[in-house]
Amino acid sequence: MPWKRQRRVPRLAAALNIEDLRRLMQRRVPHFAFEYVEGGAEDEATLRSNRAALERLRLLPRTLVDTRARSVRTQLFGRALPAPFLIAPTGFNGMLHADGDVALARAAAAAGIPFTLSTFSTTRLEDVASRAGGRLWMQLYVLTDRAIARELVRRAAAAGYEALVFTTDANVFGSREWDRRSYRAPGRLHLRTALDVLRHPGWLAPLVRTGLPRLRNLEGLLAPEATTALGGSTLIPKFVDASISWDDVKWMREQWRGKLLVKGILDPADAERAVALGCDGLVLSNHGGRQLDYCVAPIEVLPDIVRAVGSRTTLIVDSGFRRGTDVAKALALGARAVMLGRATLYGLGAGGEPGVRHALSLLTTELDRVLGELGCRSLDELDPGRVRSTTAPEFPPPG
């Protein structure tokens, strides 16, 4: 057995990196909830290649540079950003922590970075705004009933959300076989899965007090059985709309006065079209490996999209980021910021809001250190010349 598998799972304060938080979450939440966060589509080739693509990139340092006054601060849409991070939209967060969406939003607010709330959140968007504050963005899925999208856009504007993030790569829901194995029917856990839940009393106790998490933004808009987060991931696919098109982007640009971003862009031609329609930013994403298997990694196409539209829009990238070195590579290749999904969810599952804060602190500290080791005093000094590509073989996943 590899040495890393034998290491004792640390307490939150002793977690030295995102992988430590991952192992801590794995111990603290039921297996079905861990699988929901951890898994990818089908063979999980995209999931693995997201990491492999980042690992194939090497950094080129320059020496004898005074970096004592270095800073990881930047700007995003004209506003200061203490570190080049955003928390990505993730659904069903109540499966990891009873108050998961608010915990993530509060940690983001404390760090001064934006938090993106999912359409499939287990807390109402208005409640996140009132309880957490900070820079709030709203992610939008367009479902088969278009009235739901119109209502969510209206509510997000009324609640003061500053940006709308339209997810475009879930027009057909990915095949997540690991998730379906946990359920004998939509919303009904297999006996072995239910028994495993009983082995995690610390996770279960808050649910006994508050009840099972539900997709609160969609209550009254979908059938009650479809809004139960426990089984929502097996029920939601039938509501996903395969007919979404560029006309929906046009409609959102007409309706939404705040910043509009399109998430799921990987092709330069799509990037060109989104910019032409007035989008303020693009999120290069393959949905963390949860949609199309054997898909390119966002970091692989980032240089092509920078060449196509980089001077005309704001580029954000996600999928597979676990280390400050990963972030430095993306910024050097032209991204303005990185969206963090699993990295902050590991913190959430490991220790609620303090766990998320710890994850953000770890990555900020790592990025600051990497900046100094590269001989850079600011993020603006990161450029493509700092990155080299290698054909090194893929590394086995840690842990």
Half-sphere exposure of 255 (CA within 13 A, CB side): 18
Within the chain, residue ranges assigned H as helices are 3-6, 18-28, 31-38, 45-55, 100-111, 125-132, 146-158, 177-180, 191-198, 201-210, 229-235, 246-255, 268-276, 298-309, 324-332, 342-373
SS3 letters across 221-234: CECHHHHEHHHHHH
DSSP letter, residue 175: -
Provide the CA 182 distance to its chain's centre, in angstroms: 23
- Integer-rounded Cα radius of gyration of the chain: 20
Report whether 169 contacts 291 (CB < 8 A).
Answer: yes
Neighbouring C-beta atoms of residue 9, cutoff 10 Å? 15
Q: Which of 97, 190, 200, 287 is catalytic?
A: 287
What is the rounded CA–CA span in Å between residue 240 and residue 131?
29
Instruction: Look up residue 249 and give its two tokens.
Output: 């982007």
Spell out the residues 6+ positions from residue 272 whose beta carbon is closer than 8 angstroms to its own.
308, 309
- Identity at 397, one-letter amino acid code: P
Tokens of residue 43, six digits: 């063979």
Compute the distance between CA of residue 299 and CA of residue 328 in angstroms, rounded to an integer: 12
Let me know if 287 is a catalytic residue. yes
- Active-site residues, by number, are 287
